[in-house]
């Protein structure tokens, strides 16, 4: 059973991996306690890295957004599902070069950056992320390609994304629709799977046993952290928690990131790796 903020005895924490949406901000609005917490950890020399399932972000986008909230970070402190999806195509399907993308420009760019051809004509791979301009025609092309044998890859399974005023459908909602239509399950690269977590750990250079994973969603953030062997912290500033006996519980539950006790004298404070 997870500990709540009023009864937590925090272990030594030398590194932090964190989600963004619902943890650091909601839409375009910063979560003040989170900005304060990361600023405090930064000053204390505690390294951190953000992992985001939202494929509409590039690392540079996140850097600019957080700078606007008063938190200065390096691009190397951000791991995105778009970049991870591109890496998966290249590593697992090196012989495939023609990709149809449903998603934001950042997802298209991630594919092009590794030399893949973006096309809607006989694609060999369909990659889906969050697309706020989704149309029936885009979905038709994806369905046809997958039924003709194209590899199906999804950036993340998030059904909901927090906004400043509530929630919006996430990439997982449209990915689920294509999966239902084709009866083909996609390979998902984002949380709750661990590729982004492992990349973040390698960038931090911290010990797995003393690195925490922070998120607002049990089905994605918390499961990814648990699968990677990290202590997990659920913060109640994002998507409402729904109990599911089939899922692993977070180790800790907090109302705000200010409840997480990380201090300079407790942190190992390895040098933050920067690109």
State the catalytic residues. Answer: 19, 21
Structure tokens given for 170: 């996430």
Using CA atoms, how far apart are residues 232 and 225, in angstroms rounded to an integer? 6
User: 131: closest CA among 154, 97, 164, 165?
Assistant: 154
Alpha helices by DSSP H, listed for 32-104, are 32-44, 59-68, 81-92
In 3-state terms, what secondary structure has residue 274?
A: coil
User: 141: closest CA among 156, 81, 131, 82?
Assistant: 131
Backbone angles phi, psi at 244, to 5 degrees: -140, 110
How far is CA 119 from its chain centroid?
Answer: 26
Cβ atoms of 159 and 137 closer than 8 Å = no
Strand order in the sheet with 3-4: 3-4, 252-254, 231-235, 211-215, 15-18, 48-52, 78-80
Backbone angles phi, psi at 179, to 5 degrees: -60, -40
In 3-state terms, what secondary structure has residue 252?
A: strand
């Amino acid at each position: 059973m997870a500990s709540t903020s009023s009864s937590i005895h925090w272990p030594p924490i030398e590194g932090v991996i964190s989600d963004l949406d619902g943890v650091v901000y909601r839409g375009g609005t910063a979560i003040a306690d989170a900005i304060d917490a990361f600023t405090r950890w930064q000053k204390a020399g505690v390294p951190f890295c953000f992992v985001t399932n939202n494929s509409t972000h590039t690392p540079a986008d996140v850097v600019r957004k957080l700078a606007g909230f008063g938190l200065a970070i390096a691009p190397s402190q951000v791991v995105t599902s778009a970049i991870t999806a591109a890496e998966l195509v290249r590593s697992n399907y090196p012989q495939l070069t023609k990709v149809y993308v449903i998603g934001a420009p950042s997802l298209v760019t991630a594919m092009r950056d590794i030399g893949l051809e973006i096309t809607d004509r006989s694609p060999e791979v369909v990659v889906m992320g969050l697309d706020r301009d989704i149309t029936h025609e885009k979905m038709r092309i994806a369905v046809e390609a997958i039924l003709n044998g194209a590899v199906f890859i999804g950036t993340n399974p998030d059904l909901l994304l927090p906004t400043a005023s509530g929630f919006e459908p996430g990439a997982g909602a449209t990915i689920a629709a294509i999966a239902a239509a084709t009866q083909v399950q996609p390979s998902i690269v984002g949380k709750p799977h661990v590729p982004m977590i492992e990349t973040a750990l390698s960038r931090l250079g911290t010990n797995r046993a003393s690195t925490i994973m922070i998120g607002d969603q049990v089905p994605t953030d918390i499961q990814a952290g648990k699968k990677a062997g990290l202590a997990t912290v659920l913060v109640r500033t994002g998507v409402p928690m729904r109990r599911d006996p089939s899922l692993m519980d977070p180790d800790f539950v907090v109302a705000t990131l200010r409840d997480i006790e990380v201090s300079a004298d407790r942190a190992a404070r390895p040098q933050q790796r920067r690109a």
